[in-house]
């Protein structure tokens, strides 16, 4: 395993074929897939925004509905990328043996893993863009600068897909994913400023949240959607990029060890 980790992934443009294959398959199931991935975050936005919003009032000078909308966009990107990189990618890896078929072509494991990550990031962008559109229609977006949210969300999708791909490459079964959701996804969702500001947390927990990629995504997306200023944007981007690169490196190494005997 150490030898595989020492070897940096060397992808090629052939990863685009993996992305295109997944896109063609998804188009056949596009409507139910969109409803499932888009419906849950929209429900959170409307139920919590209109429900709790009446009792909470303003947060950081904005209504709770406005505050929550930007957080839900980020969480939609995280869950969209994660589910695709976990369940769908694992199905192609094990049950359908799609990865094995791809490796019979002039394609490497690094190409397949990168193609899966980029596709999961694309799904995240699609899901989050729909939430941004709904937020704009509800008047929860400050101005046209909110369009800059989309490249941030695309990068965030790659980040969360890369992390989830490590779990997929390691996993012996679907049940293994429950550990990731319980130990990683849920704490990150609750402690990254999606539903309430980090300033309301104890200092130690707020400091620990700075190491979570979702927190940095929220710190970039929320000002863009609400018209605020971004503090230390390069730091936030650097953290997201670091998780993306390291996640891809490790997942590719584990996948090589798993598939190449």
H-only helix segments in 57-108: 64-83, 89-90, 98-103
Tens of pLDDT, residue by residue, the chain (261 residues): 555 566 778 888 999 999 999 999 988 877 776 676 666 677 777 777 777 767 777 787 888 888 988 999 999 999 999 999 999 999 999 999 999 999 988 899 999 999 999 999 999 999 888 888 888 888 888 888 888 999 999 999 999 999 999 999 999 999 999 999 999 999 999 999 998 888 888 889 889 989 999 999 999 999 999 988 888 999 999 999 999 999 999 999 999 998 876
Distance of CA 120 to the CA centre of its chain: 8
> Tokens in use for 247?
């996640």
> Tokens in use for 103?
């490796």
Triad 235, 239, 243: Cα angle to 5°? 170
**Burial class for 141, CB neighbours closer than 10 Å (0-12, 13-18, 19+):** buried
What region, left, alpha or beta, does residue 107 occupy, with left being phi > 0 and alpha being psi -120 to 50 degrees?
beta
Distance CA(173)–CA(142), nearest Å, equals 44
Distance CA(148)–CA(112), nearest Å, equals 29
Distance CA(107)–CA(14), nearest Å, equals 7
Distance CA(24)–CA(32), nearest Å, equals 15
Q: Which residues contact 224 (CB under 8 A, 6 or more apart)?
A: 70, 145, 146, 148, 149, 152, 230
Cβ atoms within 10 A of the Cβ of 204, count? 8
Distance CA(14)–CA(226), nearest Å, equals 39
Q: Which residues contact 94 (CB under 8 A, 6 or more apart)?
A: none
């Amino acid at each position: 395993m150490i030898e595989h980790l020492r070897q940096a992934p060397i992808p090629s443009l052939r990863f685009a074929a993996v992305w295109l294959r997944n896109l063609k398959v998804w188009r056949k199931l596009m409507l139910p897939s969109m409803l499932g991935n888009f419906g849950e975050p929209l429900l959170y936005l409307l139920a919590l925004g209109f429900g709790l919003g009446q009792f909470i009032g303003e947060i950081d000078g904005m209504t709770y509905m406005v505050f929550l909308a930007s957080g839900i966009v980020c969480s939609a990107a995280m869950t969209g990328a994660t589910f695709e990189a976990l369940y769908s990618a694992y199905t192609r890896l094990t049950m359908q043996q799609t990865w094995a078929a791809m490796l019979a072509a002039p394609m490497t494991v690094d190409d397949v893993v990168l193609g899966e990550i980029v596709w999961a990031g694309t799904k995240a962008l699609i899901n989050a863009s729909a939430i941004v559109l709904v937020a704009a229609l509800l008047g929860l977006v400050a101005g046209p600068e909110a369009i800059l949210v989309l490249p941030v969300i695309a990068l965030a999708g790659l980040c969360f897909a890369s992390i989830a791909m490590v779990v997929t490459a390691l996993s012996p079964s679907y049940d293994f994913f429950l550990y990731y959701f319980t130990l990683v996804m849920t704490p990150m969702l609750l402690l990254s400023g999606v539903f309430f500001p980090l300033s309301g947390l104890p200092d130690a927990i707020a400091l620990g949240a700075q190491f979570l990629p979702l927190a940095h995504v929220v710190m970039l997306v929320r000002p863009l959607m609400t018209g605020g200023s971004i503090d230390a944007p390069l730091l936030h981007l650097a953290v997201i990029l670091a998780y993306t690169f390291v996640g891809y490196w490790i997942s590719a190494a584990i996948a090589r060890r798993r598939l190449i005997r």
